[in-house]
Amino acid sequence: MPLFVVPTPLGNLGDITRRAIETLRGADLIVAEDTRVTRKLLGALGIASKELWSYREQNAQAVTSSILDRAREARVALVTDAGTPGISDPGGDLVAAARDAGIAIDVLPGPSALLGAAVLSGFPLRRFTFEGFPPRTPAARRKYFTDALRPGVTTVWYESPQRIVATLRDLEAVAPDAHVFVVREYTKKFEQQISGTPAATAAALDSPVRGEIAFVIAPYALAEPPVSAVDVDAAIDELLASGVSVAEAARRLAHAGAGNRRELYTRASRRRPPKEQPRT
């Protein structure tokens, strides 16, 4: 029997598919992130009481083998509290374990906060990456943003309501003029959409922030870090030693952001080794 991966509504119950309802109704066992949340969903869908097992980060290692054993002989459905299992939750590990064990997997299409946020942003999506949750500490977040942001690639992120303002401030420190889209409580009654710079979107959020958060950053080119005087001299020496002219060395270094072309020309001229005098 396959392991059925069943997306559930992010907030609006009307977003569940007929196929998802039929799969849950026919399941012998439902594996849930939080069984209390899933019981409420099943009740709202009019699905009779089902055998429910909890599967979360804290107990995944202990229950995985038992879930796989059941999946070999029964219809097992995997759900998360909201959205598609396996995205920023341990469901992905269960899918991987099932594949390693030779168990068939059937992933149903359905609600996904990351795709909804990406499309809502209006940013180019020919290339985009899902970065998940940023690190928890400011220094780590800033480094993560520095590594993730690049031209031509939109990035999609999740964040907790408790950290979103601090996260946007760290993004501002790295890319103050970045174009950001924030969606709070996507598909729910009090959905909020904000677009602007990191500072503007942070200021537009209510305090305290409540609800689920996804945010999207448009493609962004980070400024090159300034080149130190020692690095410039070393670069000049290397270029001149390779046979590049003073003018060409100045042009290349200016293009790389090492300084003003005229000043670089003067500097390179001073560092040019003297020509050897012909022997008489």
* CATH number where 131 lies: 3.30.950.10
pLDDT tens-digit map of 160-201:
999 999 999 999 999 999 999 999 999 999 999 999 999 999
Summary mean pLDDT of the chain? 92
- Residue 235 token pair: 């670069």
Q: Are residues 92 and 29 in the same domain?
A: yes
Tell whether 95 is covered by a domain. yes
Is 278 part of a structural domain of the chain? no
CB burial readout 228-242, b (16+ within 10 A) else e: eeeebeebbeebbee
Per-residue confidence (pLDDT) for residue 48, from 0 to 100 = 86
What is the sign of the dihedral through the CA atoms of 179, 184, 186 and 190?
Answer: negative
| Per-residue pLDDT at 70 exceeds 70 | yes
pLDDT at site 215: 98
Same domain flag for 93 and 13? yes
Per the structure, the complete domain to which residue 236 belongs is given by 229-271
Tokens encoding 270? 């001073």
Number of domains in the chain: 3
**Which pLDDT score, from 0 to 100, does residue 54 have?**
95
Domain stops at, among 72, 88, 107: 107
**Side-by-side strand order, sheet with 76-79:** 51-54, 29-32, 76-79, 3-5, 105-107
Whether residue 131 is found in the same domain as residue 174: yes
CATH number at residue 77: 3.40.1010.10
Q: What percentage of the chain exceeds 90 in pLDDT?
A: 75
Strand order from edge to edge, sheet including 213-217 = 128-132, 154-159, 213-217, 180-184, 192-196
Q: Are residues 183 and 203 in the same domain?
A: yes
Q: What secondary structure letter does DSSP report for 83?
A: B
**Same-domain check for residues 138 and 73:** no
Would 207 be classed as within a structural domain?
Answer: yes
Q: Does residue 222 belong to any structural domain of this protein?
A: no
With cut-offs at 50, 70 and 90, classify the pLDDT of residue 276: low
Any domain includes 280: no
Domain identity same for 140 and 122: yes
* Average pLDDT of the segment spanning 254-264: 81
Backbone angles phi, psi at 151, to 5 degrees: -65, 145
Residues 240 and 192 in one domain: no
Q: Do 256 and 191 belong together in one domain?
A: no
Q: Which tens digit of pLDDT belongs to each residue from 195-220?
A: 999 999 999 999 999 999 999 999 99
Q: Do 9 and 63 fall within a single domain?
A: yes
Residue 53 DSSP SS3: strand
C-beta separation of 227 from 235 below 8 A: yes
Q: Are residues 202 and 251 in the same domain?
A: no
* Cβ proximity of 120 and 128 under 8 Å: no
Query: Which of 70, 88, 107 corresponds to the end of one domain?
Result: 107
> Based on the number of CB atoms within 10 Å of its own CB, is 280 exposed (0-12), middle (13-18) or buried (19 or more)?
exposed
Kindly state whether residues 191 and 252 are assigned to the same domain: no
| Domain-embedded: residue 191 | yes
93 and 122, same domain (yes or no) = no
- As a whole number of Å, the end-to-end CA separation of the chain is 93
- Show the tokens assigned to 29: 């066992």
Of the residues 74, 89, 107, the one at which a domain ends: 107
- State pTM to two decimals: 0.76
Distance CA(111)–CA(129), nearest Å, equals: 18
Q: What is the mean pLDDT of residues 12-34?
A: 96
Residue 208 within any structural domain of the chain: yes
What is the rounded CA–CA span in Å between residue 182 and residue 211? 12
DSSP letters for 125-188 = -SSEEEEESPPSSHHHHHHHHHHH-BTTBEEEEEE-TTTHHHHHHHHHHH-TT--EEEEESTTS
pLDDT tens profile 118-156? 999 999 999 999 999 999 999 999 999 999 999 999 999
Quick check: 90 and 19 in contact, CB under 8 A? no
Q: Is the pLDDT higher at 156 or at 89? A: 156
Q: Which of 190, 7, 23 shows the shortest CA–CA distance to 81? A: 7
Residue 18 lies in a domain: yes
